[in-house]
Amino acid sequence: MSASTPVALTRECDAIEIPNGTRKTLPSGTQVRIAHSRGGSYTIATDAGSMCRVDAKDADALGLSVPQAAQSLPAGPLTEQMVNDQLKAIFDPEIPVNIVDLGLVYSCSIAPGAEGGNRIDVKMAMTAPGCGMGNVLKADVESKLSRLPDVKEIHVDVVFDPPWHAGLMSEAAKLQLGLDLGGGDNTFPIFQEKH
């Protein structure tokens, strides 16, 4: 299937509007074109001229097979690894690297929620202060983390201090993008030790 081939949604599905990050439901029969797929989500253009992100769990609405990873979520007690795995499944729409390896996630913590369950707090940055995709990435984080076991609250804070820079990327991300920035890996350990 090419990006120029229109597809009619086979059922209604949830989407995140680009660039404002508003959640919406696209009705069955909506004509869309798939622009690209990264990290299990699809960027589509609708017949009304808007751009949206559709999660992998809704691939069947696009006439595609739902990836195995989207069919089953982790079970059992919530762990940092589960959170990290979900964050690594979120890709910057313009750079083919996940937000953890890109160095956008500055910190993440799991704590008991005020009304039971768990609360996850994430501090993240954008590659530039005026990045128009901030709300989309924030909505992606909220969506992915909300499906983890016993998560009742999610708070994502987009921060600009310290400013993001390419030196925060993991070595793997630098290699993937063909960057030789010298120096070591300056990425933030997203789950920091509590003292």
pLDDT of 40-59, one tens digit each?
788 899 988 888 989 888 99
The residue ranges of the chain whose pLDDT is under 70 are 1-4, 68-72, 180-195
Q: CA gyration radius for the chain?
A: 17
CA nearest neighbour of 146 among 126, 125, 124, 117: 117
Cβ–Cβ contacts within 10 Å for residue 20, how many? 13
Question: In angstroms, what CA-CA distances link 98 with 88, 92, 102?
Answer: 5, 6, 6
pLDDT of residue 33: 93
Distance separating alpha carbons of residues 75 and 189, to the nearest angstrom = 24
**Cis before 27? omega within 30:** no
Nearest to 91 by CA among 161, 42, 46: 42
3-class SS of residue 106: strand
pTM for this one? 0.74
At 168 the pLDDT is 92
Secondary structure of 11-70 as H, E, C letters: CCEEEEEECCCCEEEECCCCEEEEEEEECCEEEEEECCCCEEEEEHHHHHHHCCCCCHHH
pLDDT attached to residue 1: 46
